[in-house]
Amino acid sequence: MEMIIGGAFQGKSVYAEQHYPGVHWTSGGKISKEELFCAEGVLGFHQYIRREMRAGCEVRDLAGELIKKNPGIILVSDEVGYGVVPVDAFERAYREAVGRVCTELAGYSTRVVRVVCGIGTVIKHA
């Protein structure tokens, strides 16, 4: 498993497409759980988490399940936890869930790249 993370509009998707040629990318804003579990690469993985939570689904086991069912996936996700704690309870829970899920996935990943201003820095290479 590999991850590309960073703030919004930093060039993560462009970085992903350039550095992983030949990977078939799908969008976290659209795919089903089944599609996630067989996807090669997912852009906007945070959107998948948001959709699951909006639908009332628990995401506590999402990372564990993904590690088990699709350990070779490449995930691109926004970092959303660098602002003031949201007043809205759903937004607060979502913000924390993205952190928890991605922390677990990053722990399993062999490579994590953080993209700022289009520049990727490898912060984990196991």
Q: Shortest distance, CB of residue 30 to another protein, whole angstroms? A: 24
Please, are residues 114 and 3 in contact by the beta-carbon 8 Å criterion? no
> Three-state SS across 58-73?
CCCCHHHHHHHHCCCC
CA nearest to 6, candidates 116, 98, 125: 116
Task: Give the one residue of 107, 110, 116, 118 binding another protein; rule: CB under 8 A.
Answer: 107
Of 30 and 125, the one with the shorter C-beta distance to another protein is 125
Q: Shortest distance, CB of residue 75 to another protein, whole angstroms? A: 11
* Residue the block writes with tokens 């996807």: 39
96 sits near another protein (criterion: CB under 8 A): yes
Spell out the long-range contacts of 31-38 with Cβ–Cβ below 8 A and sequence spacing 24 or more: 36/66, 36/70, 36/73, 37/65, 37/66, 37/69, 37/70, 38/70
Task: Give the one residue of 55, 72, 84, 88 binding another protein; rule: CB under 8 A.
Answer: 84
Binding segment for another protein (CB under 8 A), chosen from 27-35, 39-47, 49-57, 73-81, is 73-81
Of 84 and 117, the one with the shorter C-beta distance to another protein is 84
DSSP assignment, residue 110? Answer: S
Q: Which residues bind another protein (CB under 8 A)?
A: 3, 5, 7, 79-85, 89, 95-100, 102-103, 105-107, 112, 114, 123-124
